[in-house]
Amino acid sequence: MISRDMVGVLYNSQRADAKDLAWKIVSDLNLGDDTLVYGVEELEKIDTNDWVGKVDLFITVGGDGTILRASHMAARNGVAILGVNLGQLGFLTELRAEEAMEKIPGYLDGEVWIEERNMIEARVVTADPGATQIVHEALNEVAIGRREVAGLSMIGVTVDDEPLTTYRADAVIVSTATGSTGYALSAGGPILHPQSEDILITPVAPHLDKSWALVLPKSARVEVSFLSQQPGALAIDGFIDVPIGYGDTVKIVKGESVARFMRGNPPSHYYADLVRKLGLDPWEM
């Protein structure tokens, strides 16, 4: 059971309907005048000391993008997420907007289980030995490629200190099982079960015949080196953009944090949910 005093509500501030539904949740569920209610981008600017220890659950109103942003703050502070979908596919969300008001009370009263999903950590190592190395966490993926949209990049990949290959591609994606249904899926990668701890490498539009994806164990240490002279970028979960340059290396390992999601359906429901969100007919021959 989650105390209503320990619930915060985050919403996609780019959508008026998300803000409206967020405040309706607060009002109709009697969450209280002191409830933490913010656009998810706004919460990123607030000192975590203002809410850590005061929130056990974030209800997010938006889509997967809203959850991805919330997860970066929630995971490292042990806060679970219950996602309400106003987006399109909503692979990470739990409830549709039209059923949220009816079903959220049951989730708060304990008729649930907590699903944990692995994250990865990415550290940029530059040619400047004095540069500060910042560790970035990702729930979905990190992608390394050229900053400009057009043009191939030279991207070298090693695994556990052993050279794998050098891609000529738009980008290389390193993702979690959660991220296998995101950018990596659009690049032709496989779908991993969300409980998998494996790490996935998927090239984006590679030149010639290097179009295969590679599934690695959770212990793998992946290094991706940017080998093009043009400016490059490290994109993290689609909303963090880190400039990189020639010779910079991104070191990626399984993260220490886990994202926690409140679920009402049994784990086996994942398959039916996946088929529905992908628009597939399970009985089609």
Q: How many CB atoms lie within 10 A of CB 26?
A: 20
CA distance 112 to 180: 25
Which entry of 64, 170, 198, 248 is annotated as an active-site residue? 64
Burial of 262: CB neighbours in 10 Å, binned 0-12, 13-18, 19+ = buried
CA atoms within 13 A on the CB side of 272: 5
Whether residue 64 lies in the annotated active site: yes
List active site positions. Answer: 64
